[in-house]
Amino acid sequence: MNNHGSFDRDRRHARSDEAHTDPIGYRVDEGSDFDRRMNGRPRPPQRHEPHPTPAPGADRERDRTARSDSERGAEPREVGRSRAASRRDRAASTRKRRGRIVALALGLVLIVAVAGGGYFAVSKFGNRTTPNADFAAGSSGDGVVIQVHPNDTAQQIGTEAADKGVVASSGAFLEAAIANNAITSVQPGFYLLTSNVPASRAVGELVDPASRVGNMVISEGRQLHDARDVNTGAVKKGIYTLISEASCVDRTGSGTPACVSYDDLNAAGAVDDPAALGVPAWATDRVEGVPDRDRQLEGLIAAGTWDFDPSAAPADILKQLVSESATRYEDTGILTAGTNSGLTPYDTLVAASLVERESLPQDFSKVARVILNRLAVPQKLEFDSTVNYSLDTTEVATTDADRARVTPWNTYASEGLPATPISSPSIGAVQAVEAPADGDWLYFVTINQAGETLFTRSYEEHLANIAKVEPGFLDSGR
């Protein structure tokens, strides 16, 4: 290996010091011992106590030490400085450097929250002289629920764990988190942890996916209440059922979890004060006028993945879900979309629920345009999904008797939109109503299981399209 370049660079850097030091680090400028001895100058008067006379051979030992330091690239040392003092300086420098490395390694790692999940590690690690308090094994208590927020650090999580009696101190939790690499896999959400346990066990439970509680997925088009398929008899779980199931937590380890009941959620969602349930101002007036209080929150809990505290009261759970859903809807521009559609924010949500139940995503914007065109005529919407809603059943087709039944939701019996949304629409359905496709269509019909849908403005052409429906597709199960 050719080192000439490195050598030359080192010599250039050292040239500025050549007038002041000799090759082993002694000073050689005017007034130094070297200059005085070489030029016969008298030693200047001492203003301080002289250094002790070195022992025989000390100069040679000092020379060897200085030469060794110079060869290692050490800084020039003051003549007469003891080896012990130099060792102390080097040790102190090493400790400071090690401390900086530890602080950097442990002090700058933060949680990173991203779509689909978040990760966290240690935010800081302080020096201490006494061990952090920690619970002994064998004295565990009941389970408690703690929350991991987006952007939480391990120390913040440890503080909540200590406050709720899971661990004896946040410091012990932090140490255990540092030692467990799986800590980086923890997602924001709620976790059931055993109380009064060693910090290592608490961290082990936190990183176990089975400890996560209060997590659920609400699919697009889901209703508050259970609905039965007319043809198969299968029951499609409603949002209240999904919340109830996700709330089940076994805090005592008895094997029998405690759950928030469907009936308790339904009762909490039917209170007379919608604002107490997180209903936004743009929906409050309409919700207060809903004819069936059990259905007043329909559509106001958005589709998507949700985390909630299963130990909270039913009303608090609903308030969280409704208020956070309002934010999701507002992020689509629902508050200002009426300038294009002519609909209020709440009616935009109602129309979006119809789009969701009547079509597939590729036809959302066309069905949204049909709704707006019919409202402008005005002409009854005549959607079978609105008939099914008040029956709590699901069927592609409906009977003549069902379509004739007057309800606040049946768009065969009344003009205009239903009294409430008939499901929780997807964000895509909301956006379709906010910005519908251009077209003059007034009719559409889905003709097969694949979802193929035909659109037209002409009623005669619509009747011809109905004739294209595959056999059996629109047969009623009643």
Distance CA 333, CA 405 (A): 35
Distance CA 220, CA 234 (A): 18
User: Identity (one letter) of the amino acid at 345?
Assistant: P
Asked if residues 433 and 420 have their Cβ atoms less than 8 Å apart, the reply is no
Question: Half-sphere exposure (CA, 13 Å, Cβ side) for 8?
Answer: 4
From its phi and psi, is residue 250 left (phi > 0), alpha (psi between -120 and 50) or beta? beta
- The CA distances from residue 359 to 28, 206, 311, in Å, are 92, 42, 38
What string of pLDDT tens digits covers the 478 residues of the chain? 444 443 343 333 443 443 443 333 444 455 655 455 555 555 555 544 444 444 444 444 444 444 444 444 444 444 444 555 556 666 555 555 544 433 333 333 334 333 334 444 444 444 556 889 999 999 999 999 999 999 999 999 999 999 999 999 999 999 999 999 999 999 999 999 999 999 999 999 999 999 999 999 999 999 999 998 887 888 999 999 999 999 999 999 888 999 999 999 999 999 999 999 999 999 999 999 999 999 999 999 999 999 999 999 999 999 999 999 999 999 999 999 998 899 999 999 999 999 999 999 999 999 999 999 999 999 999 999 999 998 887 776 788 899 999 999 999 999 999 999 999 999 999 999 999 999 999 999 999 988 899 999 999 999 999 999 998 776 655 5
Distance CA 304, CA 187 (A): 16
